[in-house]
Amino acid sequence: MSRNVYIAAMQASSGKSAIALGVMEMMVKKIGRVGFFRPIVAADRNAPERDNDIALMTSHFRLDLPYEQAFAYTSREAADLIRAGKTSQLLDGILERYNAMAGRFDFVVCEGTDFEELASAVEFNLNAAIARNLGAPVLLIVDGQKAGEEGHLGGLDFAVQSFEEDDCKVLAAILNRFAPGRMEALPDLLRHSRYAELPVFAMPQDASLAAPMMSEIAQALRAETSYRADLLDSLQATSFTVADSSPELFLSQLRDGALLFISGDRFGNLLGVMLKLNSASPVNIAGVVLTNGFKPAGAVAALLKDVKKMVPVLTVPGTTYDAITAVSRLHSRIFPGATRKITTALALFESHVDTQRLVGLLSAARTAVVTPKMFEFGLIQRAQKPRQRIVLPEGEENRILYAAEQILLRGIADITLLGNVQRIRTKISHLGLNLPGVDILQPAKSPHFRDFVETYHDLRKEKGVTPDMAETIMSDVSYFGTMMVYKGLADGMVSGSVNTTAHTVRPALQFIRTKPGFSIVSSVFFMCLKDRVLVYGDCAVNPNPDAKQLAEIAVTSAQTARTFGIEPRVAMLSYSTGSSGGGADVERVREATELARSMAPDLPIEGPIQYDAAIDADVARTKMPDSKVAGRATVFIFPDLNTGNNTYKAVQRSAGAVAIGPVMQGLRKPVNDLSRGCTVVDIVNTVAITAIQAQAGT
């Protein structure tokens, strides 16, 4: 049976999703193949709406786990079995479903029930019975807010005692939503607890996790969205305001995050709100709900069309009272795609739970293979310490701003954004983002600008660059960002979401230049397959490398692999394996292999070798039985750009692999290029990679 943990709450709406998210990430970092299982879900089996937490975990952690295999029963099915006196049958069915999926994973996070169909006492006992039958230690979630207010841990004492009386081992407890002002009193509370030896962690209340997203509000109200549907998943409502009085009364009371309810026939109030949003002292509200079935039309719609700063405007058929009642009953969730909530939840868990101690309690073991999620989360973890400063020249691009928020909230790196300062700040406000401590520079207005111009002129005057040319060039964000790296004002640069690869790399080649002993800059992709991570190079930079360049690419790629925790075993790819074939292209690879061996004598390297012999152990036993690399290669060096680029894209599409890169290598300081089709996740990963390269002095 797989190692596991059972997350059990003492009451409904306890914040299990946030805790489960943190535990999943913690275990993925340490083990890799982590599964998620819910014995009982609230969603009906054949309903289009699926269990939120299963959808969240499988989506965020990219689990190869069909929905139907991630749970055993619906709450209605479980309740029917219990009422029929068939609890034993229910437990047997849960164990059977669990065992059917658990063998595929090294560790399984089990999340308990939601306290919906059954009485709380019955459901509490049921969770204890399930945990016992699964052989799972229990991670308890207790109402920390209540404990903080009452000044004792009676709820914790009762929960631990109850589980232990049912022969369940309580591993640790988390006081969730603990009052922030009471955190200092926690050690005293723990000393007076009956279970003072039990590891107890406290996570403070965070209003943003409870605040509903505008998309949830729209769904709960079954509303029609008239404006800015694109912001529904990024804006949260932290308070409600009825704006049916005169504008003089309610406009002065507006607060950031407010959701306004306006009777649909009071379009004047709506226009007043929009004027306030676009004034010199704006308020960043979450959105507007127009009630009674009215929606902007005619002259009002024409005016609103030209409003620069706009928020989601929802239209509902019912009354203002009905809409407020429905929203007040809404229990906000951390749903798939709620990036800001996910980031906040993970940040809270990481900063308030001693994950090293918790993992030790779970007796987790590391696997020999670096799996994709281990790799991805390892990036985040390694990038955080020591913290590096990464400059992002494309600071006016929305994807860059969304990524910057995640990077800063997760503590991955310090960020400098380049571009028009006012436009960037306006966009940050318009998108409802939180970028604590971000640095924003406009090249031509920066105090460093004149020094950068003079430095660039000194470096390039022999190439015909005049002072005027230097000033023009240094006004370009890519050149300015690269000079920040050159001057030590930033540790690395990431660009390319808007600019071309050439525009990103050219400045680095001009004055950062290559590392000693290397003549070229090259690149690798980290290919995240289902069960492992491979390194492909060069797939983005050098069209037709000669033997010496190919050898350099091999050695540099091996160094990159080792930097990121992948043990390098290098395959020099060709259409021939060993001495089975000949030709100019084969001989070039053979020569490159010998040069690479002389450059790095201790590096396991094989070539020429075909891809199948490099990756497949059965083929390797036939073609190269004595090779230490064949069948076990982790670094694949392609003979030319045409082969490499097409291969990585073919593997990416046909095998469903995630390609992280291109990661530039060979420079004195790290500069990395993004694809213009990159996602926010791609940007975050690339920044983490750049930070790690800077730490390693690449």
- How many C-beta atoms lie closer than 10 Å to residue 485's C-beta? 26
Q: State pLDDT tens for residues 230-270.
A: 888 888 888 888 887 777 677 777 788 888 898 877 777 87
Q: Which strand ranges, in their side-by-side order, compose the sheet holding 258-263? A: 224-227, 313-315, 287-291, 258-263, 239-242
Which residues, listed in sequence order, are joined to residue 571 by a DSSP beta bridge? Answer: 606, 636
> What is residue 332's predicted lDDT score, i.e. its pLDDT?
82
467 SS3 class: helix
- How far is CA 356 from its chain centroid? 21
Q: Give the span between the Cα atoms of 605 and 627, in whole angstroms.
A: 9
End-to-end Cα separation, the chain, in angstroms:
43
Name the helix (H) or strand (E) containing 540: none
Question: Which pair of structure tokens corresponds to residue 644?
Answer: 């490499």
Which residues, listed in sequence order, are joined to residue 417 by a DSSP beta bridge? Answer: 392, 440
Question: Which pair of structure tokens corresponds to residue 363?
Answer: 């007796």
Asked if residues 145 and 174 have their Cβ atoms less than 8 Å apart, the reply is no
Asked if residues 340 and 435 have their Cβ atoms less than 8 Å apart, the reply is no
User: Which residue has 């070039």 as its token pair?
Assistant: 588
Separation in Å, CA 664 to CA 237, 312, 349, 524: 42, 41, 33, 7
Q: State pLDDT tens for residues 406-455.
A: 999 889 999 999 999 999 999 998 888 989 999 999 999 999 999 999 99
Q: Give the span between the Cα atoms of 627 and 564, in whole angstroms.
A: 24
Asked if residues 514 and 521 have their Cβ atoms less than 8 Å apart, the reply is yes
- How far is CA 381 from its chain centroid? 12
CA angle 581, 586, 589 (to 5 degrees): 140
Q: Give the span between the Cα atoms of 687 and 692, in whole angstroms.
A: 9
- How many C-beta atoms lie closer than 10 Å to residue 447's C-beta? 7
Q: State pLDDT tens for residues 309-345.
A: 888 989 999 898 999 999 888 888 888 888 888 988 9
Segment 30-44 mean pLDDT: 89
> What is residue 179's predicted lDDT score, i.e. its pLDDT?
72
Segment 506-511 mean pLDDT: 92
Give 1's pLDDT tier (boundaries 50, 70, 90). very low
Q: Give the span between the Cα atoms of 312 and 285, in whole angstroms.
A: 10
Q: CA dihedral defined by 676, 682, 687, 688, rounded to 10 degrees?
A: -160
Q: In sequence order, which ranges of 166-195 are alpha helices (DSSP H)?
A: 186-191
Closest CA to 287 of 349, 220, 350: 220
Q: CA dihedral defined by 472, 473, 476, 481, rounded to 10 degrees?
A: -130
- The letter for the amino acid at 549 is Q
Answer yes or no: is pLDDT of 203 > 80: yes
Question: Which pair of structure tokens corresponds to residue 599?
Answer: 């450059």
Answer yes or no: is pLDDT of 117 > 60: no
The whole-chain average pLDDT of the chain stands at 87
Closest CA to 329 of 446, 212, 457, 229: 212
506 SS3 class: helix
CA pseudo-torsion sign 326, 328, 333, 334: positive
User: Which residue has 């998943």 as its token pair?
Assistant: 233
Average the pLDDT over each of 176-180, 310-314, 639-643 and give the range with the smallest value.
Answer: 176-180
Question: Which pair of structure tokens corresponds to residue 60?
Answer: 């965020």
Asked if residues 273 and 307 have their Cβ atoms less than 8 Å apart, the reply is no
Question: Which pair of structure tokens corresponds to residue 691?
Answer: 């930070």
Separation in Å, CA 487 to CA 451, 490, 573: 10, 8, 39
Per-position b or e across 558-569, b if 16+ CB within 10 A of its CB: bbbbebbebebb
Please return the burial class of 222, using the count of CB atoms within 10 Å of its CB with bins 0-12, 13-18 and 19+: exposed
Q: Give the span between the Cα atoms of 22 and 111, in whole angstroms.
A: 12
> What is residue 367's predicted lDDT score, i.e. its pLDDT?
44
Separation in Å, CA 250 to CA 240, 268, 504: 12, 13, 49
Answer yes or no: is pLDDT of 116 > 70: no
Looking at mean pLDDT, say which of 195-204, 363-372, 587-596, 652-661 comes out highest. Answer: 587-596
Give 517's pLDDT tier (boundaries 50, 70, 90). confident
Give 592's pLDDT tier (boundaries 50, 70, 90). very high
Asked if residues 150 and 79 have their Cβ atoms less than 8 Å apart, the reply is no
Q: What is the DSSP letter of 514?
A: B
Q: Give the span between the Cα atoms of 456 and 39, in whole angstroms.
A: 64
Residues 6+ apart with CB under 8 A from 505: 521, 541, 664, 671, 673
Residues 6+ apart with CB under 8 A from 619: 612, 613, 631
Q: Give the span between the Cα atoms of 207 and 220, in whole angstroms.
A: 20
Answer yes or no: is pLDDT of 2 > 90: no
- How many C-beta atoms lie closer than 10 Å to residue 465's C-beta? 17
Give 366's pLDDT tier (boundaries 50, 70, 90). very low
Q: Give the span between the Cα atoms of 450 and 462, in whole angstroms.
A: 20
> What is residue 40's predicted lDDT score, i.e. its pLDDT?
93
Q: In sequence order, which ranges of 47-178 are alpha helices (DSSP H)?
A: 52-60, 75-83, 87-102, 120-134, 144-150, 154-165
Answer yes or no: is pLDDT of 488 > 50: yes
- φ/ψ (deg, to 5) at 204: -70, 160
Asked if residues 384 and 355 have their Cβ atoms less than 8 Å apart, the reply is no
Closest CA to 260 of 247, 679, 126: 247
Asked if residues 310 and 335 have their Cβ atoms less than 8 Å apart, the reply is no
Segment 150-169 mean pLDDT: 73
Segment 536-559 mean pLDDT: 95
Q: State pLDDT tens for residues 337-360.
A: 888 889 889 999 998 999 888 988
Answer yes or no: is pLDDT of 91 > 80: yes
Instruction: Provide the pairing of β-strand 658-665 with 522-528.
Output: antiparallel
CA pseudo-torsion sign 615, 619, 623, 625: positive
Closest CA to 577 of 625, 647, 545: 625
Residues 6+ apart with CB under 8 A from 546: 588
